[in-house]
Amino acid sequence: MPTDTAQRYFVDDPAGKVRTLKYHIGGEWKISHTNKYMDCYNPSTGAVIARAPQCTTEEVEQIIGAAVKAFPDWANTPVNKRVQVLFRMKQLVDTHLDELTYLLAMEMGKAWQEAMGDVLKVNEVVEFAAGAPHLMKGESLMQVSPGYDTVQYHHPIGVFAGIAPWNFPAMIPHGWMTPICIATGNCMILKAASFVPQSSLRMMELWQEAGLPDGVLNVFTAGREQAEILLEHPEIKGVSFVGSTKVGKHIYSTAAAHGKRVQALCEAKNHALVLRDCKIERTAHGIINAFCGCAGQRCMALPTIVVEKVIADELVGYLKKFAVEHQKHLGAAYERSSQMGPVVNKGHMEFVLDWIETGVKEGAELVLDGRNPEVPEECENGYFIGPTIFDHVTEDMSVGREEVFGPVLCVKRVDNFEEGLTIMNNSRFANGSVIYTQNGYYAREFAFRTDGGMVGVNAV
């Protein structure tokens, strides 16, 4: 870890409470000249812990220039040399695992084990990307026409931009986006989520320590106006985004209109189908973990279950029992004893609370109310919502159709498998789906016919 504060990603407040964050360009940490900053909170306590600069247009242009400058040398670096950086990065993440976990839990609010999982996912992709010498192999075919052969190569393209979400501040920017990009000889510019930038900035320090050349990876925080530059700039060859559907549509259309490759991963409303022959207690535990994990703030959360009526009362009883027990372990995310942390900030807490109120107004039965949960004294100003369960949710209720992105479960009752599958496939969201059953026929039918992109059977 650098000891010279000039080489760190932050400047400490003399009082030692609120850090002023920097941005990273061409191998250097710089203080922004902006007069606009966003407060970053510890959601477990509600305290401000950092100030993230909203970098200026000129600074973003300079960041792009640094990446463009670094690209030729990095692209010409032999692939076996490039992946040496990845091997060292994996070792550094392992070495600093507890530190990274604490930082992520403190700024985003994931409970300790969830935050650690976020960090460890970085290394899973780093390990995969380290296989680039094999993964980048091309193909050839002789004599496709008299005297002609074809040869296909995979080669670097240029500078890519990653616009990261706040719910996975380590895994997505430094797992999904960065390792593959740099292993294949490209350069990356990351716009870290301004709510939760410190995990990403600390990861940038580790990439430096791993030996990544200056300018190959650059990280900054900014508002929408500066993000637009990444979508339109001619030197940016592609954009990767994870976030809301509204923003994703704008990014996709704008970047594509400027001739860029675009990956935009957006909202979700995953479903589970619970059949009468399921192992009901085991199923209930799996559902609790899926909708309470990360306080419901993940695109693979389980906010909706479709259950056969004949077992619905029994299942809902178990769900309420287990959720009440789960709620007893609400607490500061960075305390290892906590099983569930807060939502990310006050604005998102109010958003989720509004959805709970909407569910009540729409006539869903509020089986368990997670509003104003009991929390430790130090967390009284934190952004906590306990597990919340709605029963008898119908298709005309928006709370059961739209993404809530919080620890809110909607229970829909059906007569049989066919009715349940139809409801699931009628959803406009299709990230994932799961079935709970001991019947091999229904498990196979479900896997074959569900529209979910990722399919589970009896997942816990």
Q: What pLDDT, on the 0 to 100 scale, is given for residue 197?
A: 98
Residue 405: alpha-carbon gap to chain centroid:
12
Give 364-383 pLDDT, tens digit per residue. 999 999 999 999 999 999 99
Q: What pLDDT, on the 0 to 100 scale, is given for residue 460?
A: 79
pLDDT lower than 70: segments of the chain: 1-6
Characterize 388-418 residue by residue with b for buried, 16 or more Cβ atoms within 10 angstroms of its Cβ, and e for exposed.
bbbbebeeebebbbebbbbbbbbbbbbeebe
Domain ranges of the chain: 5-138+153-265, 271-457
Q: pTM for the complete prediction?
A: 0.95
CA-based angle 326:458:328, to the nearest 5?
A: 0
Q: What is the DSSP string of 307-343?
A: EEHHHHHHHHHHHHHHHHHHHTTB--TTSTT-SB---
Q: What pLDDT, on the 0 to 100 scale, is given for residue 77?
A: 98
Q: Which CATH number fits domain 5-138+153-265: 3.40.605.10, 3.30.360.10, 3.40.50.300, 3.40.50.720?
A: 3.40.605.10
d(CA 241, CA 354): 27
From residue 97, how far is each of 23, 92, 165 by CA, in Å? 23, 8, 21
Q: What is the DSSP pairing of strand 271-274 with strand 47-53?
A: unpaired
Rg over CA atoms, the chain: 24
Q: Report, as residue numbers or ranges, the catalytic residues.
A: 299
Q: Which residues contact 53 (CB under 8 A, 6 or more apart)?
A: 20, 21, 22, 23, 31, 32, 34, 36, 37, 220, 221, 222
Domain spanning 271-457: CATH 3.40.309.10 = yes
Q: Which two tokens stand for residue 361?
A: 């107004």
Q: What pLDDT, on the 0 to 100 scale, is given for residue 80?
A: 97
Residue 118 has what DSSP assignment?
A: H
Residue 242: half-sphere exposure toward Cβ, Cα within 13 Å: 23
d(CA 191, CA 225): 12
